[in-house]
């Protein structure tokens, strides 16, 4: 496998955001089938959890197939020593890079000082980055963060993170307090680019927030000059987001077949290890936009396991869309 480099990606490039209980190995392979991004991320994984008695409850987030590369392992925590050891493990497991989560706004994690909680402890954030870079053994190290905690702090916080000469920096253009309740502040992105040019020209900048089409991202590339675009909620609007013909209208049959492929992969990959009910959040992606869609979704929402899903898919209401 060739060595991955953020700098060598053709601009603008696209990444699928790390999302808990969403971007596992099975869903990443669904996205590959529909049209792959330039880079994947794992779900965010606790460095403290990996080096605890509960290791088996978190290490599965690193499960992947070779065709998912380039795949970046995203990690979070508060103990620099565990970041160092996790970085060594990530390199051993064959990932293309390491990303440190300093942006997740989940209150319980913030209370523990992790993820976006590190914005309030810049000295600890530095220790975490340095430890990860030391343990990475040459793998690219990046950070995903926001533009501030309670209020914007681009000059202070973003400059601080860039001072560590990261390979890449993903900026969600909202504060932690704003979560996703206001439009992303893309108007602030030129300042981030300027700071990058002044402090760490080698760092690739990735923008995140409210990107719902490749056309929109390409217009932002022209307007703001951000190198890459991370897609989160956009994939729920369109599983074919990263395809060359991303705006093409998909037939009901295509959507149903992709949904069945998704559930099949989930069953083959996880069996009963991971919660089947987490799959239900995806059904609206595949079953929408036609008469009777809500009723069909409701039938699937009542299922409790993979086999019940496939049994429902055999009834005439569904089969009419799956047979010629």
Known catalytic residues are: 104
89 neighbors 163 (Cβ within 8 angstroms)? no
Dist. CA 34–CA 229, nearest whole Å: 18
Q: Mapping DSSP to helix (H, G, I), strand (E, B) and coil, where does residue 168 land?
A: strand
Residues 6+ apart with CB under 8 A from 41: 15, 16, 17, 18, 23, 71, 72, 73, 74, 99
The Cα angle at residue 264 between residues 262 and 265, in degrees rounded to 5: 65
Helices 252-270/306-313 angle, 10° precision: 160
Q: Mapping DSSP to helix (H, G, I), strand (E, B) and coil, where does residue 76 land?
A: strand
Mapped to the 3 state alphabet, what secondary structure does 185-201 carry? CHHHHHHHHHHHHHHCC
How far is the first Cα of the chain from the last one, in angstroms, to the nearest whole number? 42
């Amino acid at each position: 496998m060739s060595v991955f480099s953020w700098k060598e990606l053709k601009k603008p490039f696209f990444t699928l955001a790390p999302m808990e209980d969403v971007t596992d190995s099975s869903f990443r392979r669904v996205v590959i089938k529909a049209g792959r991004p330039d880079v994947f991320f794992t779900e965010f994984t606790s460095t403290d959890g990996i080096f605890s008695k509960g290791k088996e409850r978190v290490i599965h987030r690193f499960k992947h197939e070779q065709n998912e590369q380039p795949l970046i392992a995203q990690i979070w925590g508060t103990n620099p020593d565990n970041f160092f050891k996790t970085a060594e493990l990530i390199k051993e497991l064959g990932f293309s890079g390491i990303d440190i989560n300093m942006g997740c706004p989940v209150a319980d994690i913030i209370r523990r000082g992790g993820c976006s909680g590190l914005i309030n402890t810049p000295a600890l954030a530095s220790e975490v980055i340095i430890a990860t870079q030391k343990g990475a053994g040459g793998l690219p190290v990046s950070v995903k963060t926001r533009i501030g905690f309670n209020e914007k702090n681009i000059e202070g916080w973003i400059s601080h993170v860039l001072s560590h000469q990261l390979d890449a920096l993903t900026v969600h253009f909202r504060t932690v307090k704003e979560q996703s309740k206001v439009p992303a502040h893309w108007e602030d992105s030129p300042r981030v680019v300027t700071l990058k040019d002044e402090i760490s020209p080698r760092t690739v900048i990735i923008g995140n927030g409210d990107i719902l089409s490749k056309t929109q991202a390409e217009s932002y590339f022209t307007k703001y000059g951000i190198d890459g675009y991370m897609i989160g909620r956009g994939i729920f609007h369109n599983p074919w987001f990263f395809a060359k013909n991303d705006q093409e209208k998909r037939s009901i049959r295509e959507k149903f077949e992709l949904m069945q492929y998704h559930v099949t992969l989930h069953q083959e990959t996880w069996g009963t290890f991971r919660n089947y009910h987490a799959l239900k959040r995806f059904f609206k992606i595949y079953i929408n936009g036609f008469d009777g869609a809500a009723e069909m979704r409701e039938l699937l929402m009542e299922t409790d396991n993979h086999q019940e899903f496939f049994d429902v898919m055999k009834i005439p209401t569904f089969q009419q869309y799956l047979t010629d």
